[in-house]
Every structure is written in C-alpha cells, then in structure tokens.
Amino acid sequence: MTNNVVIDKDAAFDLIDELRAAIPEEIRAAKRINSEGERIMEKAQEEAERIVASAQEQAAFLIEERGLTAAAEDASNRIVAAAQEESAEVRRGADEYAASVLIGLEGEVVRTLQSIKKGITLLDERRPPAAVATEQTAADDDDDDEDAWDREAEQLEARAPHSART
C-alpha cells in the first residue's frame, strides 16, 4: 500500500474543459444583463420624450384655450423633471444590478481559481518525494508566475463584497 493515486487523465481534462466552457457563459450572461439595462434606459428615454411631447401639446392647448401660460409651463417642467428622475433611477438600478452580477462572477472566478490551486496542491502532496524533486526544478521557474497569480487572486478577493465571498 502506498500513498500514490492514479488520476484518469481524460477525466481531469474533461473537468478543465467544463471550467473553460462555464466561464464564457457567465460572461455572456453579464453581457445580456448589460444590454437589458441599456434597453430599459432606452425605453425610459422614449417614455420621457413621449411625456415631454404630451406636456407640450397640453401646454399649447392651455395657451390657446385659456391663456394660462404660466400654469402650462409649470406642469411641463414638473413632467419633464419627473421623467428625468425616473430615467435616472432606472439607469441607477440597471447599473447596480450589472455591477452586482459582475462582482458575483468575479467571486466565482476567484473561488474556481482557488479550487484549482487546492487540487494541484493536493495532487502534489500525493506524489512520491522523488517525482516532486524532479519537478521542483521546473516548478522553481514557475514560482514567479504563481506568485503573480496569488497576488491577483488576493486583489480580486479583496475587491469582492463579503456576500460574494461566502
């Protein structure tokens, strides 16, 4: 009995391929959310324009029929301000939603990277010392790259909100 473990190479590659396929799907989902936010903003802008046109028609009617120009201008200004405020609120909501989805995606990427590193570490621990020593010389060359990945993962983790890390 030994501590050696045999890993099915095809199964490991299949898992890596699944990870590669999952990440682009999350990016496409974020893009869909972003375009949905843009569509909502365009709809709000169209509604604002419709409200402004309606207010202008109403103001013209009041001017022609009753001569109440001051009242018509006030009503028009209120309607325009309300439409602009609603448009800004919709835009803020869409931006917040897109940001939260992207932050969640960032957290998932960080967790996936950490899982991969843990798996590699576990596999390295299971190797016999002689195999690790031969690979250590090759790994020394990769230490700089690994340190850079670690720093980047820590930076991503620090930026993600607490809810995305749990």
For 142, the enclosing helix (H) or strand (E) is helix 129-159
Q: pLDDT confidence of 17, banded at 50, 70, 90?
A: confident
* pLDDT band at 163; cut points 50, 70, 90: very low
Instruction: Please state, in angstroms and rounded to a whole number, the distance separating the CA atoms of residues 119 and 22.
Output: 18
Residue 132 has pLDDT above 60, yes or no: no
Amino acid at 77: N
DSSP for 53-95, please give it. Answer: HHHHHHHHHHHHHT--HHHHHHHHHHHHHHHHHHHHHHHHHHH
Sign (positive/negative) of CA torsion 66, 69, 74, 80?
positive
Check pLDDT > 70 for residue 146.
Answer: no
Give the DSSP H or E segment for 4: none
Per-residue pLDDT band for 116 (boundaries 50, 70, 90) equals: very high
pTM over 0.85: no
pLDDT, residue 142, reads 62
Tell me the C-alpha distance between 109 and 96, whole Å: 20
Q: How many CB atoms lie within 10 A of CB 94?
A: 19
**Structure confidence at residue 155 (pLDDT):** 74
Give residue 28's pLDDT.
79
Contact between 153 and 113 under an 8 Å Cβ cutoff? The reply is yes
Q: Say if CB 4 and CB 126 are below 8 A apart.
A: yes
Question: Per-residue pLDDT for 160 more than 80?
Answer: no
Round the average pLDDT of the chain to a whole number and report it.
80
